Amino acid sequence: MSLFQYFIPDRSNTPLIVALTASITSFTLIILNRVFYPPLPKLLQSPLNTVLPKLPKDELKKLEYKTDTFPGARDVVTPYGSIRVYEFGPVTGPKVLFVHGISTPCTTMTKLALSLANHPSHPCRVMLFDLFGRGFSDNPADLPHDARLYVTQILIALASSPLSWTGNDNAFKLIGYSLGGGVATHFAVSFPNLIHDLVLLAPAGMIRPASFGTLTRKIFTSGILPHGFMHLATRRRLQRPIRSSTKKAKATAKLHKKEHAQQDPASKFVEAETADDVDANGEPRTALEKKVLKQVQQQLVLHEGFVDAFMACLRDAPLMEQQGAYERLVLRGKDKGKTTTIILGEEDELVNPEEYKEDLLPMLEGGDVVWEVVKGGHDFPMTWAEEVLVVVCRVWGWGDN
């Protein structure tokens, strides 16, 4: 037997060959991942401290999401990194806190926030903030982006205010959208005395896992593939260009809608929370919707922690299987005067109203929950903001907005 034959197993021993090949491949992937994508630092900073200080003034003016997009901006330094918070409106008005979704900064709440801050009969004190890894907030990359992290971020944002937002006499109104709805649910059931009125707009938490596909979900959540590979794949998915309004718009939109069910989680969330130039029927989108999609692109280019925060949310955030938290919402119905409102979009393919009616509504029986379905898809807080405000103000006893 030659030396070569001694080290190479007999070709008839297939299981051993397969095992050896798999081991070598796995080891090679690990080494390459370490070389090209070393472990993440504990903190990935927002563009405020990395890119923006180096940009010329003319480039800063071109940004879709600027540092002065909302009044009352402040940057809150925390053990988890810096958080961008906005607070404006009359100091004596009803207090309303917004929590946005997974792929965008807090600008998706623009119409609702400005409308409530300028409400004709009940002008509100409004607070918005960028979730970790979005907009102008840092990404604590060494922590799971789960409900605990984001509930803590809400508490930090509240504590940073010069006004008192907590206590039985200062209960505020909480509005959560998409991922923010799942986070808001956890906050409301964890600190019931702090929340007077809870509004959940297309809330995550009960999205059916099958919506993402079993294999795709396992790839995103199991850690089977190297982080560097997943980072590149996710970034590519998020770099979806805006479609133009051409003669082929309607046909393209129909095909896009048909293929939606087969998309991976990254594509589904970013396409649901943002908008193309045309909707599913080929109709033109609003200027605000186009701006929000461009803001996602801005995060991809400028925020070194955005992609990793997005991936971390797909793994750990309260997007699915949150029955325990939602069941506890029933207890809010026993507190006199407190309201819980769930608003869904009739054409939403991500937070499907029919699926939620079947899966979630039975859990809330006896909880005095207002359940409404409005026009639009998952992005209805932008496209149908006025209709949402009518529902919200009616529940709050404010009449028409």
Query: Pick the residue with more confidence: 344 or 169?
Result: 344
The model carries a pTM of: 0.83
- In the predicted model, what is the mean pLDDT of the chain? 83
- Exposure string for 120-159, b = 16+ CB within 10 A, e = fewer: eebebbbbbbbbbbbbbbbbbbebebbbebbbbbbbbbbe
Query: Pick the residue with more confidence: 151 or 274?
Result: 151
Distance CA 374, CA 104 (A): 22
- Give the helix, strand, coil percentages of the chain, each rounded to 5: 50, 15, 35
Please name which of 122, 142, 124, 120 lies closest in space to residue 133, comparing C-alpha atoms: 142
Q: Which amino acid is at 200?
A: L
Average pLDDT over residues 142-151: 97
Average pLDDT over residues 348-361: 94
Q: Which residues pair with 84 in a beta bridge?
A: 75
Confidence band for 255, pLDDT divided at 50, 70 and 90: very low
Distances, alpha carbon 195 to alpha carbons 89, 125, 169, in Å: 19, 15, 11
State the pLDDT at residue 169. Answer: 72
Q: Give tens-digit pLDDT for 160-203.
A: 999 999 876 778 999 999 999 999 999 999 999 999 999 999 99
State the pLDDT at residue 16. Answer: 67
Confidence band for 323, pLDDT divided at 50, 70 and 90: very high
Confidence band for 155, pLDDT divided at 50, 70 and 90: very high
Q: Give tens-digit pLDDT for 50-78.
A: 999 999 999 999 999 999 999 999 999 99
Q: Give tens-digit pLDDT for 208-229.
A: 887 766 656 666 666 666 677 7
- Exposure string for 173-198, b = 16+ CB within 10 A, e = fewer: bbbbbbbbbbbbbbbbbbbbebbbbb
Percent of the chain past pLDDT 70, that is, above it, reads 74
Q: Are 332 and 366 in contact (CB under 8 A)?
A: no
Q: Are 130 and 84 in contact (CB under 8 A)?
A: yes
